[in-house]
Amino acid sequence: MNKSSIKIPFVNLNLQHQPIQIQLEQAIQAVVSQGNFILGQAVADFEREFAAASGAKYGIGVASGTDAIALGLQACNIGSGDEVLLPVNTFVATLIGVLQAGAKPIFVDCDRQTALIDLAAAAKLVTPKTKAIIPVHLYGQMVSPIKLLDFAQTYNLLIFEDAAQAHLAAREGYFVGSVGIAAAFSFYPSKNLGGFGDGGMLLTRDPDVAQKMVRLRNYGAAQKYFHVEVGTNSRLDTLQAAVLLEKLPYLAKWNCDRNHIAQQYDRELLPLASFGITPIENHSDVGHVYHLYVIKIDDSCTFARQQIQDKLAELGIQTGIHYPIPCHLQPAFTHLGYQPGDFPQAEALAKQILSLPMYPGLSSSEITEVVSAIASILSNSQQLLCL
């Protein structure tokens, strides 16, 4: 799909940026004028404000969400010889973070209705070497905090949250980042809170984890030229922090808009259930922040997912797939020893899911147009079957 043919994009960041363009430009210019591009004041300010907004005590900005996981696990003393449970249907950054920390990833299948990690399946995989579980709050919905805390207590495990898609999400009286010892966030541009490039953050309530994370992101230095451990260079750029700081006050409203958009999608898609089209279930009500709005195209549907996606593209409607290949089937990770069929729920779901346009500012008429387009495709198929 070329740019000129796009009628409804999958993501439209301009709708967020245009109303605050002057503030964003002023924030960037202030950093340029000050010349403090590495760990400048805007970084400390954003760390404090994002932690406060999320109900956490400490925030440590890093270069990416992947680094937030890898360094965050190390800061929690998870490493060589430790097994870490994680869902197999996640973006590979979760897996890469575990590997970079030196730990052994243990994949867990998912719940087909919510796409979240199946804790009952996870319980069967716990061994004496299991030290932590990473619940991925996928698509903007938290894994049940109550069940997660019970699971961790039963098996004496650390909870390390992957909240890359769930900024300010809530469920069962808990906010994302408040359930485990730490939580990793990404500020990739298309996230609910996104920068103008890569960026990430670790939130934690533990002062020791926070202090170690500060060292690890900056060459392992407790102070300049005094390196107490092997760290790396992974610092949130001051320019990115300045942009994120300007956008943060709007995040709650943007999340609310996403939830309202999802509610309309839910209502208008309801008649299509008879065609095999159903949304991923929301068990969090308004606490779901809908980084993505994902539907399932069941095997009973007369059109394959690729056909629907292609026909929507012809109509100028962009869609995505998150994610088409589960981690255990990615070529880079065959050395982990998993085979097709090991995780039947995730493998089946990967063949069914389709992400529809979702962003603050998506209009009611555009939502209706997306759903009507899907209905038209399915209706034409039904008519052809009757001929």
Find the domain containing 61 and state its range.
Answer: 14-250
**C-alpha span between 94 and 26 (Å, rounded):** 35
Q: 174 pairs with which residues across the strands?
A: 171
Residues 6+ apart with CB under 8 A from 307: 377
Among 250, 276, 304, residue at a domain's last position:
250
Q: Is residue 238 part of a domain?
A: yes
Residue 101 shares a structural domain with residue 160: yes
Q: Is 258 exposed, middle or buried (0-12, 13-18, 19+ CB in 10 A)?
A: buried
Calculate ∠ Cα 229-230-236, nearest 5°: 105
The CATH number for 86's domain is 3.40.640.10
Q: Is residue 2 part of a domain?
A: no
Give all strands of the β-sheet with 200-204 in edge-to-edge order.
58-62, 200-204, 182-186, 158-162, 130-133, 83-87, 104-108
Assigned token pair, 15 = 């709708």
**C-alpha span between 353 and 345 (Å, rounded):** 12
* pLDDT computed for residue 222 by the predictor: 83
Assigned token pair, 329 = 């089937």
* pLDDT computed for residue 1 by the predictor: 65
* pLDDT computed for residue 384 by the predictor: 37
Residues 6+ apart with CB under 8 A from 11: 190, 357, 358, 359
Q: Is residue 212 part of a domain?
A: yes
Selection from 365, 367, 291, 368 nearest residue 322 by Cα:
291
Overall domain count for the chain: 2
The CATH number for 317's domain is 3.90.1150.10
pTM, rounded to two decimals:
0.96
* pLDDT computed for residue 380 by the predictor: 77
Residue 233 shares a structural domain with residue 297: no
Q: Is residue 8 part of a domain?
A: no
Low-confidence ranges of the chain (pLDDT < 70): 1, 3-4, 381-387
Among 250, 277, 293, residue at a domain's last position:
250
Residue 255 shares a structural domain with residue 280: yes
* pLDDT computed for residue 135 by the predictor: 98
